[in-house]
Structure 1
Amino acid sequence: MPRQTDPVVETPAGAVRGLRDGSGERYRALPYAASPIGAGRFAPPVPHPGWSGVRDGTRPSPTAPQPVRDFGRLDMVPYFGPGWVPGEEYLTVDVHTPAADGGRRPVMVFVHGGGFVTGSNRAALYDGTAFARDDIVLVTVNYRLGIPGFLDLEGAPANRGLLDVLAALGWVHDAVAAFGGDPENVTVFGQSAGATLVGALLATPEAGGLFRRAIIQSGNGTGAFTPEQAQRVTAAAAAALGVEPTAEAFAPIPDERLLAILPALSGLDLRTSTATDPLAGLSPFSLVLPVQPADGLADGPARDIDLLIGTNTEEGRLYLAPQGALESTTEADVLAVTARTHADPEAALAAHRAARPDETPGELRSAVLGQALFEAGTTRMAQAHARISGGRTHVYSFGYRSTALGGRLGAAHTVELPFVFDIADQPWLHGDTRLLGAAPAPAGLAARVHGAWVAFANTGNPGWAPYTRQRPEVEILGG
């Protein structure tokens, strides 16, 4: 039953009731677009029709259809959340605000990761308590995943998951003032696939005016598929379903069947005469673009956007350590992943070996993965932004080594997230098979990282010198 003290906010679509607690006010499952059902799963997002009366904003929404992901010995539930929670209305946002009081606070809009196939804003890692404490309005976004979100189909717009994020930003622009936020001071930030989507927004003309700042955490500015690569995935999906590769043919197929064929899409060879596999075979889905986001920044709002961008120092370990592959990797395995991701694998592997002469095959494989999946594209994006933005680029490197899995996880992909959200002391993140390991988080690191993100959202300056062509400054966090 609603309490008389529960806050009610009037949004452009209707009134919504939230919950007030010691951390501020929370409003959940707010639709920014109509439900993507049937043929609508392959159509652009359209505005929600709104509602009469007062909507219940106290419960989480359903999530996008997605498969279960297993990371071996590492508990990644705080990252992936509950998985698929069926329900039609999942194009939603959650809002955590200090107060819906007409204030003009900075707004931060978070886009989750998960390889374009998994994840949601229900994941425990995306707790907005610390941001609300620091007078930030946090908005977390769900978007379409997998085949509905990213499969390239005749008769459907490409990159529907990206279109969803654009629609969510439009909702923020129109509605966030009612929650105490400033629609003219919006920072969009994301991690992994979410960060790659944020990078694409920088090169998307339609994103102009929807945000002022951007943070790219372990994304890939060169992670998009070419149209030829995307068509290989589409052909494999159509063959697995026994239908034509069109939106019309896919429309009547239930979500359960679309999820069931995903194993048939894993491991596809996406190398072409002009491109390597930007995701190293780890996901059959990505953005589909004629040029990489890092090469198309001049086409979008990037020159007017403040950018904070960086990676972790041992990104690739997430894909090896939990499965025991750091120890079992052979020289052939290292060469195979290098061949997937480099036009001249022998030369690339020689360069990695020269830089790391004492590393094991597993450590080399991790380095190759990290460089190909995140570091190379991040560097290219940072350099491209620095060329056009006039001192608006700030770069970091996150080096704190998690003690999880007997210390094998290290500064892997996702390890920075508890520090960004200032929840690194939470007990559910600690233990040998949990993200931060058995050791306590280092004193002060979460305050430093989270504080930098908050400062950037307020001013565009996280607290260190900008990255320029003349002085490519990189701030070390936790190294």
Structure 2
Amino acid sequence: MTTTDRVQAPAGTIVGRRDGRVRRFLGIPYAEPPVGERRFVAPIRRGRFPRPYDATGHGATAQVVPLFDTTTIPEPSVPGDDVLNLSVVAPVDGEDCPVLVWVHGGGFLAGSPASPWYDGRSFARDGVVTVTVGHRLGVEGFAPLDDVPANRGLRDLLLALDWVRDNIAAFGGDPGRVTLAGQSAGGAAVLALLSSPATAGRFQRAVSLSGGFFEVAEDTARGFLERLGDRLAVPPTRDGFARCTRGRLQWHVRELRADEALVLGPYVGDDVLPVPVADGLAAHGHAVPLLLGATGDEFDGPATLEGARTAGTRRTDTLFRAACPRTAAARRHSPAGTWLYSFEWPSPATSGATHCIDIPFFYDVLDAPGVTEALGADPPAALAASMHADLVGFVRGEEPAWARATGTLGDPARTYGRPGAPFAADTTGVFDPVVGGAVEAC
């Protein structure tokens, strides 16, 4: 039975919904709408709500145009300008619960925090408060433009983390036990923020699923913006792009990028990312425990499954898996520790351990819309229970049961879903959990 619920927070009175033992407060603005003069500037903190805020439905999404016609994850676009919002899912009567702050993927160009795969009901069942954050994307979020701050999408996330620090206790969360987590571009954002001197104290643990070092070189980004401006018949400047609607920008970015993996993303050279992510990881975030990994096949698909995972030859390796040992190596002196995992369960729907299909297992939402299409009719519930339990334990502050990684050949890792699967040979820095004897395969 669904009933109305409300909290009194420093941000104001927020009205949500209670469904059984789960409370949901959706689409809460943490910043002013990034429109008009605010469209390309740093986010501006939202003032206290003057009247009770209706948080019973998902807020507007920065995504207007999905990155592909069909996406593995259901990624609804919600119209509106108030895109800098977040959603809180919490247990009823929770108090001082650990908090998981989730950043969605989408190549920094698309993605939706309103996906049913990100519903935190199973975390609430296990005493964890989940916060799902929306941030600016594409040109608005990550284009390097003169006279405006870079990394606006990352700055949005920093402000959202400040909102969590200031308000999450009203929802039963502990602001001193925050885990920042994300997948794909969201996982890359986690690594970028972990490497940043600007984030000290904003989160105490970190999880990166299929993330990587996704910073985009200035010449790559500016070259892409030149081509985009030509296509739109506007100068590649703040004022030029301001003439275009968000939807028009996203549509032409999607069409122009074609098969390019990264055209806009975290930018190196400002106060948020003064140095490349790998260098920043060696210098910052050593007090933050980190769990990270990738799926076995990511974007490479079924042709590589049987004995053909040759190290360094696949996009899976160069974009995703190689970041695992490189991150562990950069953090080898971290007293907090780094742990690796590899997701190896081959979906019968995709014929591989492909990009995104691990999310319903980590979230333990195998009954969510779109799961059958991505995972087949009977995904293993025991695997979801195991993976979810590992993540919940980490968020609670427990040390994983397997050994820490140091970025050396044969680092141990937790393997999920396909014991005995062939792995890439670890001769070019590509992550290979088998060499060290992967532990407790599920």
Q: 2:374 aligns with which of 421, 425, 435?
A: 435
Deviations 1:300-344 (A, max 9, x none): 3x1010100101111123xx67xxxx5xxxxxxxxxxxxxxxxxx
Contact 2:97/2:129 (<8 A) preserved: yes
1:81 and 2:75 correspond: yes
- Aligned residue identity for 1:445: L
Structure 1 distance, partners of 2:151, 2:369, is 37
Residue 294 of structure 1: how far off its partner (Å): 1.8
> Which residue does 2:294 correspond to in 1?
311
Structure 2 distance, partners of 1:46, 1:427, is 34
Q: 1:397 aligns with which of 338, 342, 346?
A: 342
Contact 1:80/1:114 (<8 A) preserved: no
Shift of the 404–94 alpha-carbon distance from structure 1 to 2, 3 Å rule, reads same
Structure 1, gaps ≥5 residues long: 268-279, 327-351
1:67 and 2:65 correspond: yes
TM-score when normalising by structure 1: 0.80
TM alignment of 1:106-117, pairs within 5 A:
106-117=98-109
Contact 1:265/1:284 (<8 A) preserved: no
Contact 1:80/1:118 (<8 A) preserved: no
Structure 2 distance, partners of 1:97, 1:212, is 19
Deviations 1:138-180 (A, max 9, x none): 0001111111111111122111111111111110011001110
Shift of the 109–48 alpha-carbon distance from structure 1 to 2, 3 Å rule, reads same
Deviations 1:71-125 (A, max 9, x none): 66xx62xx24213x22011111100011365x11100000000111111111111
C-alpha RMSD over aligned residues: 2.4
Structure 2 distance, partners of 1:391, 1:466, is 10
Q: Comparing 291-300 with 42-51, which one deviates more in the overlay?
A: 291-300
Residue 428 of structure 1: how far off its partner (Å): 4.1
Structure 1 distance, partners of 2:349, 2:132, is 27
Residue 382 of structure 1: how far off its partner (Å): 2.1
> Which residue does 1:411 correspond to in 2?
353
Shift of the 20–156 alpha-carbon distance from structure 1 to 2, 3 Å rule, reads same
Contact 1:66/1:117 (<8 A) preserved: no
Contact 1:315/1:366 (<8 A) preserved: no
Deviations 1:8-29 (A, max 9, x none): 2112221011111113211111
> Which residue does 2:428 correspond to in 1?
none
Contact 1:415/1:435 (<8 A) preserved: yes
Contact 1:310/1:378 (<8 A) preserved: yes
Residue 468 of structure 1: how far off its partner (Å): 2.9
Contact 2:206/2:288 (<8 A) preserved: yes
Residue 293 of structure 1: how far off its partner (Å): 0.9
Aligned residue-pair number: 411
> Which residue does 2:429 correspond to in 1?
none
Q: 1:447 aligns with which of 371, 380, 385?
A: 385
Q: 2:322 aligns with which of 348, 368, 376?
A: 376
> Which residue does 2:426 correspond to in 1?
none
1:459 and 2:405 correspond: no
Q: 3-state DSSP class of the match of 1:86?
A: coil
Residue 264 of structure 1: how far off its partner (Å): 5.2
> Which residue does 1:295 correspond to in 2?
279
Shift of the 376–204 alpha-carbon distance from structure 1 to 2, 3 Å rule, reads same
Shift of the 366–64 alpha-carbon distance from structure 1 to 2, 3 Å rule, reads farther
Structure 2 distance, partners of 1:413, 1:167, is 29
Contact 2:311/2:317 (<8 A) preserved: no
> Which residue does 1:420 correspond to in 2?
362
TM alignment of 1:201-350, pairs within 5 A:
201-220=193-212, 222-263=213-254, 265-267=256-258, 281-290=260-269, 291-300=275-284, 302-317=285-300
Higher helix share: 1
Shift of the 366–296 alpha-carbon distance from structure 1 to 2, 3 Å rule, reads closer
Deviations 1:381-432 (A, max 9, x none): 12212x2312511111111110104xx3x101111101000012557412xx
Structure 2 distance, partners of 1:97, 1:304, is 27
Shift of the 111–422 alpha-carbon distance from structure 1 to 2, 3 Å rule, reads same
Deviations 1:231-287 (A, max 9, x none): 1122222222333332233223322331242145314xxxxxxxxxxxx71242221
Residue 443 of structure 1: how far off its partner (Å): 4.2
Q: Comparing 453-462 with 170-179, which one deviates more in the overlay?
A: 453-462
Q: 3-state DSSP class of the match of 2:322?
A: helix
Q: 3-state DSSP class of the match of 2:4?
A: coil
> Which residue does 2:435 correspond to in 1?
none
Deviations 1:41-84 (A, max 9, x none): 21100111232221111111111143234366xx62xx24213x
> Which residue does 1:276 correspond to in 2?
none
Structure 2 distance, partners of 1:390, 1:373, is 27
Shift of the 473–60 alpha-carbon distance from structure 1 to 2, 3 Å rule, reads same
Shift of the 94–313 alpha-carbon distance from structure 1 to 2, 3 Å rule, reads same
Q: 1:477 aligns with which of 391, 412, 416?
A: 416
Structure 2 distance, partners of 1:140, 1:116, is 16
Residue 296 of structure 1: how far off its partner (Å): 1.4
Shift of the 263–210 alpha-carbon distance from structure 1 to 2, 3 Å rule, reads closer
Q: 3-state DSSP class of the match of 2:325?
A: helix
1:22 and 2:20 correspond: yes
> Which residue does 2:137 correspond to in 1?
145
Structure 1 distance, partners of 2:400, 2:121, is 20
Structure 2 distance, partners of 1:71, 1:388, is 44
Contact 1:237/1:264 (<8 A) preserved: no
- Aligned residue identity for 2:330: A
Structure 2 distance, partners of 1:448, 1:287, is 33
> Which residue does 2:88 correspond to in 1?
95
Structure 2 distance, partners of 1:164, 1:80, is 23
